[in-house]
Structure 1
Amino acid sequence: MRPPIAALVVLLLVVAALTVIGLGGVHAERVPQAVLNGEQQIAADTAQSVRTAIDVEASTVRRTANAYPATSASTPTTALQALTSARKAVLGKALLDPRTGKLLAAGGRPVPLAGVDVVQAASGHGAVPPRLVTSGGTRQLLYFARVTLPALQEDANQDQFQAPSRPDRQWLLVVCETLPALTTYGDGRSAEVLDARGTALATTSDGAASPAVTDSGLPAAAARAANGSGRDTDASGSMLGAATGSRRTVAGWAQVASATGPGDTDNLGLVVLTSRAVPTTTAAADYSRFALEAAGALAGLALLLGLVLHFFVQRPLLRLYLSAGRLARGATEDGPGAFEELFRPVPVHGFGELARIGRALESLRLQLLGESGPQELPARRGPGYRALAVVGVVVVACWAVPMIFMLNRADTATAVPVPVLADQQARTQVAANRIRQSLDQSYTDLSDVAAGLPGRSRAAQTEVLRHTLADHKQYRSLYLLDRSGGITLRVGDTPLRTLVHVPDGGGITTVNTSGRIPAIAAYAQVRAVKGKAPAAGVVLFGEIDVKALNSVLPRPKLGSVWVTNDENKVLAASVGYRAFQSLPDSGLTRLARATQGAPGAAGTATSAALRTSSGASVDAAAPLAQSGPTARLGWHVVTAEPAAALQIPAVQAEQRTMLAGILGLTLGAACLGWLHVVVIRPLRAVAVLVERLAGGDRRTVLHPVNHDEVGSVTRSLELMRQALAERDRAARSGHTARPSRSLREQTLQR
């Protein structure tokens, strides 16, 4: 009986203390933590874009080198020209002998190889990672790739190469390029790529020049923080910069390094720094007083419930337990002292079940004394202890329900700071740009493949498509269409297309309008070559695996991400979805429609704070592309981050208020339910049995179920039943008898 009551009081006091601690720690800062976190994530997204661009460029250089059809007649000059002729961003290029580092051929600007140990770099068996070098006072990237060709023996007297005389050997291709271009979003935001010393290698800004650019201490601080976290991770962080009037600079930094294992960017030591001046918060928000008032009210309720249960349940039950034991001793033990126990009346305490049991015990006492016979007790009236438990739950609910549903409710329209909305919009634009780059790269790769198909035999074309499918994991199927739309050559999985048509030109499209999986495909024309065998088809299609596209979407603290078509139907998502379904909330659909521009225009990004069925969220939508092969599709990227995941004071106060209410109601109901199970329900059963016993039922054996106060009362009642039954038998036989000691011992053991 005591543990449920003590637990109820203690746990409610703990909830009161947690309410003070939780709500008392919510304060409105000059720059909300959510703004700092948002800038950190923008820096991380920008760093990922830079990392992806470098990785793609490095893999493209290697793939081109691996696909080069070297022969014994190939010379360094012709090979270098063939390997780099299609690359417009190349500043300088060179072919080197990896064994000696000797320059075999060069083109464009001189390749800055000073400080690069070519022999050591090419000595390993894996891919040679890019290097960051200085040329003409600017920092540039060197990409390396091995070119395998038949062994060539150089004639000492002639500047030519003759037939092979040794096993295959390699050349080392070196391509020099500038750093990938930075793209920033958000008016007034600047972005910089820093080296390990904090020197800016590339800078860009969106909109008006930001005061953050003049905060010269931020780059050095970002470089120190990045160096302190190691060079082979994708660590990120945020900082506060200088204040100018009512605005303060917020900066985020992130390493350009792989988080999943060794990568091409790990040893470059590059750091991305983004910064923006945001208005500071002047409105104070302090929930300490509310926390104290709410905690005081709950503490008062806890003590009140504890006192009520102590005086109306615990004390009456203990007195009843003592009275039942006293009567059992008087009924079963010998001696004048034991018999005198029967002369003391049984006090009736409490109400409900305890009062019923007390009245029945008094009747049994009189029957044991022989002063009265069995008597029918009146039917119970009025509420019992179950009603008391229900009232206790209602009392706790009177405190908890307002905490859950009414108090400290955040106004979605004003609780989310404007910079947080701007950050969500900027991150959505970054996500759209990342998806666009992925789709554009798929189209570019497919166009390169389509350009190499004319003039080849069917078997050679099949081999090219197989190599392409193996090298480009984003494709699930590659196939050629003839002029009637029929598939003439296919590698990979069965196509998902339901639309049979032969489009002109090239780009990105969807080739189905229903089904379980959206079929997004890149396509390019296969040009006929005069004088050569015709191609097996006129259009090359590459269906993009939607799983590969879905894997590009998730980003930390961005929430759910959806890619929708021009009818706002979902094509890809970072969360579970059905193909071509609508967005999960009508507010998101309206937000996506708000980004749509005039006919033929791409539209503009937008953001808003919405309250949906799942709670408040910070949402944004952006067109997928302003230009390129995906611009005419009219697709959008929509994101929704729950406001509960952001460190916004008003939202935090709402969350913690609701949590306190839920905890108080749950623990209060659990403890009172525990009391009902172990005390109230057994008391109801004992009340029925003792009233039957007082009414003359001597055959029903009373078995104690629990080893507690109620169980002790039940054992005492069983002893009294046996004594009364033995007396009745003796009366029928004309003798007066009392229960034997052996019978009493058997009862106690049972």
Structure 2
Amino acid sequence: MRPPIASLVVLLLVVAALTVIGLDGVHVGQVPQAVLSDEQQIAADTALSVRTTIDVEASTLRRTAAVYPATSTSATTALKALTPGRKTILGSALLDPHTGRLLATGGKPVPLAGGDVKAASGHGRIRPWLVTSGGVRQLLYFARVVLSAQQEDANQDQYQASSRTERQWLLVVSEALPALRTYGDGRVAAVLDASGAVLATTARGTASPAAADSGLPAAAARAATASGRGADAAGSLLGTTTGSVRTVAGWAQVASTTGPGDTDGLGLVLLTSRTVPVTTSTADYARFALEAAGALAGVSLLLGLALHFLVQRPLLRLYLSAGRLSRGATEDEPTALEGLYRPVPVHGYGELARIGRALESLRRQLLGQSGPEEFPARRGPGYRALAVAGLLVVACWAVPMIFLLNRADATTAVPAPVLAAHQARTELAANRIRQSLDQSYTDLSDVAAGLPGLSRAAQTRVLRHTLADHKQYRSLYLLGRSGGITLRVGEVPLRTLLHVPDGGGITTVNTSGRIPAIAAYAQVRAVRGKAPAAGVVLFGEIDVKALNSILPRPKLGSVWVTDGHDRVLAASVGYRAFQSLPDSGLTRLVRAAQGAPGTAGTSNSAVLRTSSGPSVDAAAPLAQSGPTARLGWHVVAAEPAAALQIPAVQAEQRTMLAGLLGLAVGAACLGWLHVVVIRPLRAVAVLVERLAAGDRRTVLHPVNHDEVGSVTRSLELIRQALAERDRAARSGHATRPSRGPRATTLQR
């Protein structure tokens, strides 16, 4: 009996303490933590875009060099073939990696004085270098070009290691730093070196001069250096306060996420910053926490005292009275017999009062003062009603905490900078998808340009090599003029739309099924004077898993890619192909982001109220230009506001949690009390009333080893004594041998 009552009081006091701790931890500062976290994530997303651009440039150059046949021994001719009109290239050069001698140059001079090319070229893949030329920072990309003579010797397996080095060229290309793109009006983005010097910068919209805080680059560089190289570290910074606005910044290392990569060793840091209004909220959650905790402490003490005086003490007295009667009925000791002459006090109400009245009747029957007594069938409320009343008292505290108090307004709880940052991150997610699809189309176009004039066997080898080198493709195939597949490598195509498109780009080739089929396609030009190509259009079906893996980002929530009919093509969460968005509000948001026919549209965002609380949602068109612009696709992101560090939402969440904990504790402890005390008491009350009414046949079996079980055992002893007395009375004998005057009086 004592454990459930004590547990109820102690656990409710613990919930009260947790309420104070939880709500006191909600701080309303000048800049909400959610704003700082979002700026950090924007910096990390932008750094990822820069990293991807550098990795793609480096891998493209190495791939170009790897497939170059090197049939000519002229370095100048080879250099022109290796760099055919790439607009991003500032200068190029071919070197002898064994001696470091310059063999051919193109464009602007390549600044090689800052490093030892000969030493670096002897250790596998050469990572890009960050160099200075004319006061401008540039990136150098490297690739090895294997000469045909070496290939012939390799087939014969007769060449030496020294000749292997002599029969390679080293291709070096200089390019400017990747062009920065920043999202969100008023945001400034900059690329820094390890010392904090600004290498490139850009701004979106009308950026405030305060956003370009002069102390932030050095602080970001120091923070990145302290985190170590290649750790993909990121963080946030607070800048100066100007009037009613303050500068917030995020920084992130431009490094590889999967170990050594092309960006490791560059020491680049990406810094983003913008100004946000200073919060002037006066919400005092600490005072509310103390008031709520005090109320719950009062409720717990009230319930504890009520259960102590109404249940615990009466039951203990009843337990003692039942034991006294059982000893008087079964023992011949004078002290035991004296207990039969003391009336049974009737304490409490309900079941305990019923048991007490029945015990008093049994006492009189044992003394021979009365016979069996019937008890009325109509009874008042019992202890079950007390448990329900206790739960209602707890609910009076918990229900307002869950449904009424500290409720965040969906329209004002989320600060405007948080909503703007979520929209910017959605645009960054769209940019990542666009980069991936554009690169797939570019790679496929390069392959299609090399197919004309090749035999079918040679085309098959090229496609197989491309499939092995580009993991995003699941299938590559050539279409004939009639739309049939004339050549295929990889998995079985998913396409159900049979058509031969013009030009090139990205498209979907099915409209139903379990897997959306997204494909890049490019024309295969015919060569005059040669046999016609095996196909006229090259298709590369893109594995949708490759797109799904791009979408997830920390604190961005669920992300979907939808087609022009608002059907899901890819997502960061589980989905069915071509399903609608999971919420009608998201669909309306996408349609609001659609522009006029023929235009890409603009991104937008909103705070939507869902069944689980406010949700920060945004939709952005996939691309404004390029091969994916005319698709009409969108990227949609939805993040529950509860996952963001917004004071109003945190207060609502923790208030609801305190209410749920209090209600759960009350229900559990009172349910425990009902199971171990109240329900057994109800059963005992029925049995003892039957016993007092003359039922001597029903055996009373104690079920629990507690106070109620002891009362049941005592009642069973009383039943046996009464049954023995009744049998003796029928046979004309005394119930037991008499010892002393008290026993003689009992027999009489």
TM-score range, shorter chain: over 0.9
Taking a change above 3 Å as real, the CA distance of residues 345 and 165 of structure 1, as seen in their structure-2 partners, is closer
Match of 2:86 in 1: 87
Q: For residues 257 and 497 of structure 1, what CA distance do their matches in structure 2 show?
A: 38
Range that drifts further, 375-384 or 326-335: 375-384
Structure 1 residue 128, shift from structure 2 partner:
1.9
Match of 1:172 in 2: 170
Are the aligned partners of 1:193 and 1:272 in contact in 2 as well (CA < 8 Å)?
Answer: yes
Q: How does 1:583-598 map to 2 (within 5 A)?
A: 583-598=581-596
Residue 514 in 1 paired to residue 497 in 2?
A: no
Match of 1:54 in 2: 54
- Paired letter, 1:49: S
Q: For residues 116 and 222 of structure 1, what CA distance do their matches in structure 2 show?
A: 27
Are the aligned partners of 2:617 and 2:638 in contact in 1 as well (CA < 8 Å)?
Answer: yes
SS in 2 for 1:730: helix
- Paired letter, 1:42: I
Are the aligned partners of 2:212 and 2:273 in contact in 1 as well (CA < 8 Å)?
Answer: no
Match of 2:116 in 1: 117
Structure 1 residue 739, shift from structure 2 partner:
9.7
Q: How does 1:407-446 map to 2 (within 5 A)?
A: 407-446=405-444
Are the aligned partners of 1:723 and 1:738 in contact in 2 as well (CA < 8 Å)?
Answer: no
SS in 2 for 1:491: strand
Match of 2:456 in 1: 458
**C-alpha RMSD of the superposition:** 1.8
Match of 1:159 in 2: none
Range that drifts further, 307-316 or 289-298: 289-298
Structure 1 residue 321, shift from structure 2 partner:
0.4
Q: How does 1:697-736 map to 2 (within 5 A)?
A: 697-736=695-734
Residue 355 in 1 paired to residue 353 in 2?
A: yes
Q: For residues 165 and 39 of structure 1, what CA distance do their matches in structure 2 show?
A: 56
Q: For residues 695 and 725 of structure 1, what CA distance do their matches in structure 2 show?
A: 13
Q: 2:685 aligns with which of 687, 690, 704?
A: 687
Taking a change above 3 Å as real, the CA distance of residues 739 and 196 of structure 1, as seen in their structure-2 partners, is farther
Are the aligned partners of 2:383 and 2:678 in contact in 1 as well (CA < 8 Å)?
Answer: yes
SS in 2 for 1:342: helix
Q: For residues 70 and 275 of structure 2, what CA distance do their matches in structure 1 show?
A: 55
Q: Percent identity?
A: 82
Match of 2:485 in 1: 487
Are the aligned partners of 2:211 and 2:247 in contact in 1 as well (CA < 8 Å)?
Answer: no
Match of 2:671 in 1: 673
SS in 1 for 2:605: strand
Range that drifts further, 703-712 or 88-97: 88-97
CA offsets 1:347-400 (integer angstroms, 9 cap, x no match): 111111111111111121122222223333222511111111111111111111
SS in 2 for 1:698: coil
Match of 1:156 in 2: none
SS in 1 for 2:412: helix
- Paired letter, 2:625: S
Q: For residues 725 and 69 of structure 1, what CA distance do their matches in structure 2 show?
A: 112
SS in 2 for 1:116: coil
Are the aligned partners of 1:212 and 1:275 in contact in 2 as well (CA < 8 Å)?
Answer: no
Match of 1:746 in 2: none
Match of 2:199 in 1: 201
Taking a change above 3 Å as real, the CA distance of residues 340 and 53 of structure 1, as seen in their structure-2 partners, is same
Q: For residues 570 and 672 of structure 1, what CA distance do their matches in structure 2 show?
A: 48
Q: For residues 22 and 497 of structure 1, what CA distance do their matches in structure 2 show?
A: 54
Q: How does 1:142-157 map to 2 (within 5 A)?
A: 142-151=140-149
Structure 1 residue 521, shift from structure 2 partner:
0.8
SS in 2 for 1:517: coil
Listed as ranges, the gaps of 5+ residues in structure 1 are 154-163, 741-750
Match of 1:334 in 2: 332
Range that drifts further, 228-237 or 699-708: 699-708
Match of 2:102 in 1: 103
- Paired letter, 1:574: S
Q: For residues 459 and 700 of structure 1, what CA distance do their matches in structure 2 show?
A: 96
Are the aligned partners of 1:495 and 1:543 in contact in 2 as well (CA < 8 Å)?
Answer: yes
- Count of equivalent residues: 728
Taking a change above 3 Å as real, the CA distance of residues 165 and 347 of structure 1, as seen in their structure-2 partners, is closer
Q: For residues 98 and 700 of structure 2, what CA distance do their matches in structure 1 show?
A: 98
Q: For residues 662 and 47 of structure 1, what CA distance do their matches in structure 2 show?
A: 41
Structure 1 residue 408, shift from structure 2 partner:
1.4
Q: For residues 64 and 692 of structure 1, what CA distance do their matches in structure 2 show?
A: 98
- Paired letter, 1:53: T
Match of 1:628 in 2: 626
SS in 2 for 1:712: helix
Q: For residues 590 and 59 of structure 2, what CA distance do their matches in structure 1 show?
A: 35
Structure 1 residue 443, shift from structure 2 partner:
0.5
Q: For residues 565 and 178 of structure 1, what CA distance do their matches in structure 2 show?
A: 35
TM-score under structure 1 length normalisation: 0.94
Residue 470 in 1 paired to residue 468 in 2?
A: yes
Are the aligned partners of 1:94 and 1:174 in contact in 2 as well (CA < 8 Å)?
Answer: yes
Q: For residues 76 and 462 of structure 1, what CA distance do their matches in structure 2 show?
A: 30
Match of 1:285 in 2: 283
SS in 1 for 2:89: coil
SS in 1 for 2:541: strand
Match of 1:158 in 2: none
Structure 1 residue 152, shift from structure 2 partner:
6.7
Q: For residues 47 and 339 of structure 1, what CA distance do their matches in structure 2 show?
A: 92
- Paired letter, 2:34: A
Structure 1 residue 444, shift from structure 2 partner:
0.5
Q: For residues 261 and 702 of structure 1, what CA distance do their matches in structure 2 show?
A: 74
Are the aligned partners of 1:507 and 1:629 in contact in 2 as well (CA < 8 Å)?
Answer: yes
Are the aligned partners of 2:69 and 2:148 in contact in 1 as well (CA < 8 Å)?
Answer: no
CA offsets 1:299-356 (integer angstroms, 9 cap, x no match): 1111111111111100100000000111111111122221111111111111111111
CA offsets 1:95-152 (integer angstroms, 9 cap, x no match): 2233333333332222222242323322224x22212122221221111222223457
Q: For residues 377 and 726 of structure 2, what CA distance do their matches in structure 1 show?
A: 26
Taking a change above 3 Å as real, the CA distance of residues 43 and 165 of structure 1, as seen in their structure-2 partners, is closer
Are the aligned partners of 2:410 and 2:609 in contact in 1 as well (CA < 8 Å)?
Answer: yes
Match of 1:373 in 2: 371
Range that drifts further, 281-290 or 428-437: 281-290
Match of 2:500 in 1: 502
Range that drifts further, 714-723 or 35-44: 714-723
Range that drifts further, 177-186 or 111-120: 111-120
Are the aligned partners of 2:211 and 2:275 in contact in 1 as well (CA < 8 Å)?
Answer: no
TM-score under structure 2 length normalisation: 0.95
- Paired letter, 2:461: E
Q: For residues 92 and 34 of structure 1, what CA distance do their matches in structure 2 show?
A: 44
SS in 2 for 1:91: strand
- Paired letter, 1:20: V
Range that drifts further, 178-187 or 283-292: 283-292
Q: For residues 387 and 267 of structure 1, what CA distance do their matches in structure 2 show?
A: 73
Residue 9 in 1 paired to residue 9 in 2?
A: yes
- Paired letter, 1:538: V
Match of 2:609 in 1: 611
Taking a change above 3 Å as real, the CA distance of residues 618 and 739 of structure 1, as seen in their structure-2 partners, is farther
Match of 1:306 in 2: 304
Q: For residues 627 and 698 of structure 2, what CA distance do their matches in structure 1 show?
A: 88
Match of 1:651 in 2: 649
Structure 1 residue 727, shift from structure 2 partner:
2.3
Structure 1 residue 251, shift from structure 2 partner:
0.7
Are the aligned partners of 1:26 and 1:286 in contact in 2 as well (CA < 8 Å)?
Answer: no
Structure 1 residue 177, shift from structure 2 partner:
1.2
Q: How does 1:118-267 map to 2 (within 5 A)?
A: 118-125=117-124, 127-151=125-149, 168=164, 169-212=167-210, 214-267=212-265
Structure 1 residue 691, shift from structure 2 partner:
1.7
SS in 1 for 2:375: coil
Are the aligned partners of 2:47 and 2:270 in contact in 1 as well (CA < 8 Å)?
Answer: yes
Listed as ranges, the gaps of 5+ residues in structure 2 are 152-157, 739-748
Are the aligned partners of 1:151 and 1:165 in contact in 2 as well (CA < 8 Å)?
Answer: no
Are the aligned partners of 2:581 and 2:587 in contact in 1 as well (CA < 8 Å)?
Answer: yes
Q: 2:322 aligns with which of 321, 324, 336?
A: 324
CA offsets 1:414-436 (integer angstroms, 9 cap, x no match): 11111111111111111111111
Match of 2:744 in 1: none
Match of 2:640 in 1: 642
Structure 1 residue 481, shift from structure 2 partner:
0.8
Q: For residues 672 and 641 of structure 1, what CA distance do their matches in structure 2 show?
A: 38
Structure 1 residue 86, shift from structure 2 partner:
4.4
Q: For residues 691 and 380 of structure 1, what CA distance do their matches in structure 2 show?
A: 13
Structure 1 residue 671, shift from structure 2 partner:
0.6
Q: For residues 170 and 146 of structure 1, what CA distance do their matches in structure 2 show?
A: 7
Q: For residues 93 and 307 of structure 2, what CA distance do their matches in structure 1 show?
A: 89
Match of 1:157 in 2: none
Q: For residues 32 and 488 of structure 1, what CA distance do their matches in structure 2 show?
A: 60
